[in-house]
Amino acid sequence: MNCPLRRTAALLFATAALAGAVCPPASAAPGPDATLEAECSTRVRGSHATADCFNGNSTIDRVQLHIECVRWWDPDMDTAPVAVTPARHVALTQRCWLGIRHAWVTHTPG
């Protein structure tokens, strides 16, 4: 039995298979606007801040940890910029005297 619904389904599957073979998935390669930054996680414990950064990209990323202290008389601190080469990990630490209000990492291309 030759059903039009079966023919339509076969045509849709064939079209989808052809489109998948011709057009790669959108996530296959980063686009020209993609930022290639190291992945960093920041942790604050009391008056100490730590940033763990891993660079899974093929370019160098310079990372820097910044902290804002709670007390007005406690100076805000920044670490020196550190270059994270491809497939490498760095840990940055900094502290305030009594407490940290906010900690963040900035990135600069290699």
For position 21, what pLDDT does the model report? 47
For position 71, what pLDDT does the model report? 93
* pTM (two decimals): 0.68
Q: Is 21 helix (H, G, I), strand (E, B) or coil?
A: helix
Q: How are the residues of the chain apportioned to helix, strand and coil, as percentages rounded to the nearest 5?
A: 15, 45, 40
Q: pLDDT tier at 47 (50, 70, 90 boundaries)?
A: very high
Return the H-helix or E-strand segment holding 108.
Answer: strand 100-109
For position 62, what pLDDT does the model report? 96
Angstrom CA distances, 12 to 6, 23, 24, 27, 63, stand at 10, 16, 18, 23, 49
Q: pLDDT tier at 110 (50, 70, 90 boundaries)?
A: confident
